[in-house]
Structure 1
């Protein structure tokens, strides 16, 4: 019986990739907090994961490199964040407190995802070794 790592970790691996991409976007927002005219960005994690779930459930395969390219390459769901504070006059929409909170929240969720995957890998190692982990 073949072991499918894709079945074991496929969806969770996608979640980790999306969390990594979101961390980069938020870090970019924080880095540009004082850049005039910079517009804060974010991605909708739920929407991206629903898209990944749909792709997994429907097992779409590409017969040509340009088929289904929009839904299979990257997330494409990066949007500008709607500011919660009034414009300060320079056109920058980054709210540093909101970005820090989002960064910390995303980091904690990333860490929890890693722990979950670690547990799955330990379980697989235990099963392969016959109960001796």
Structure 2
């Protein structure tokens, strides 16, 4: 039963985690807008979400088994591991490079930041309504 609930919410969890990571990257870009030679970074959300979902499926099938040093130990399985943020980050190509080598374009960063924040909030609302629907389905009439 718990596995089915976890599977039902797995996609939302992965999407929200990636949204949070993207939010941190965009905030870092905005914070370094005046730093000379700072290169703006971002990642392709769609492709990273596909990779995360596929990685989650593979790890659920294979499992991340914990080593048992005694037959009396309880076998355990750990949570799925995510790839480090550095692996998915790409550099942005600026439309108008600045003289100091900084590639942060504030209008684009603000737009991306706002878009990501709205999509994160939408994801929270969808996950919340999904949880509420599952709770209603489990309660007796």
Structure 1 unmatched runs, 5+: 66-70
Query: 2:51 maps to which residue?
Result: 51
Given that 2:19 and 2:116 are in contact with CA atoms closer than 8 Å, whether structure 1 keeps it comes out as yes
Q: Alpha carbon RMSD of aligned pairs, Å? A: 2.0
Q: CA deviation at 1:62?
A: 4.2
Query: 2:24 maps to which residue?
Result: 24
Query: 2:91 maps to which residue?
Result: 80
3-state SS of paired residue (1:97): helix
Is structure 2 residue 101 aligned with structure 1 residue 91?
A: yes
Structure 2 unmatched runs, 5+: 68-80
Q: CA deviation at 1:57?
A: 4.1
Q: CA deviation at 1:129?
A: 1.8
Given that 2:37 and 2:100 are in contact with CA atoms closer than 8 Å, whether structure 1 keeps it comes out as yes
TM-score (norm 1): 0.83
3-state SS of paired residue (2:42): strand
Query: 2:130 maps to which residue?
Result: 120
Given that 2:94 and 2:103 are in contact with CA atoms closer than 8 Å, whether structure 1 keeps it comes out as yes
The alignment of Structure 1 onto Structure 2 pairs a total of residues equal to 124
- Structure of higher CA gyration radius: 2
- Cα distance per residue 1:49-108 (max 9 Å; x no partner): 11123224443434589xxxxx843352111111111x2210000000000000000001
My pick for the range that moved more, 14-23 or 56-65, is 56-65
Which of residues 116, 119, 124 is equivalent to 1:106? 116
TM-score (norm 2): 0.79
3-state SS of paired residue (1:106): helix
